[in-house]
A and B are shown apart, each in its own frame.
Chain A
Amino acid sequence: MLSISNFVLELLNKYLKVMKKGVIVFILAALVLVTTGIWFFSSTEKLKLYEFVGFGVIILVVGFAVFIGFKRLNSAKRGEPAEDELSKKVMQKTAACSYYVSLYIWLAIMYFSDKIKYETHTVIGTGILGMAITFAVCWLVFNFRGIRNE
């Protein structure tokens, strides 16, 4: 058992070193898209409106991930680093801001889940999608506005 886990870890280490982060983003985006596609097309019941909205949001988040992946690949093509001090700072600010906003999102979800009865997986799914959207919006704001005087 230990030798198998060692082998897997070694393999993972080797591939992670070889793969650029951009490629990993593409793989993750493809996995999310395939999983969502399976969920969407294998559903036997008629899909409800909020399920369509959820699907749309997932597509948006995947689109955002692909956009970041393309940006990194373009940088690599030009011979520039995929990440530098500005992109790391933007990521740090985005993570901090989206964490802060996410706390309020969960607070709002807790408040409304008392008033309106939803299934547990719907509530958790909404929270996770809300967090993903918050992250994307924060990244777009910091990436295009810049980080001044900090």
Chain B
Amino acid sequence: MNNRIKEFRARHNMTQEDLAKKVNVRRETIVFLEKNKYNPSLKLAYDIARVFDSKIEEIFLIE
């Protein structure tokens, strides 16, 4: 699974720390997500999509 978190974060002018605080995870989790080293739970994916005001499938792409 790939994701466009980094792209969406830049578009919303957000740091990894800002996003981490908004979705209530540690900054390391955002780092791992952006490097595709971790697939988030459905809840975390939903929370991230909600922060960016987008749909889950726009951010997370299944290869």
A residues contacting B by CB (< 8 A) are 75, 78-81, 84-87, 89, 145-150
Contacts and interface: CB of A to CB of B under 8 A. Distances in A.
Nearest to A87: B26
A44 B27 CA distance: 50
Contacts, number: 49
Contacts of B40: 85
Interface of B: 1, 17, 20-21, 24-29, 32, 35-41, 44
A85 B44 contact: yes
Nearest to A79: B21
A85 B29 contact: yes
Given A80-B20, A85-B41, A86-B38, A146 B32 contact: yes
A85 B37 contact: no
A140 to B, nearest CB: 14
Contact of B29 (A78, A84, A145): A84
Contacts of B28: 86-87
Interface pairs A-B: 9 shortest CB-CB:
A146-B37, A84-B25, A86-B29, A80-B26, A146-B32, A75-B26, A84-B26, A146-B38, A85-B41
Contacts of B25: 80-81, 84-86
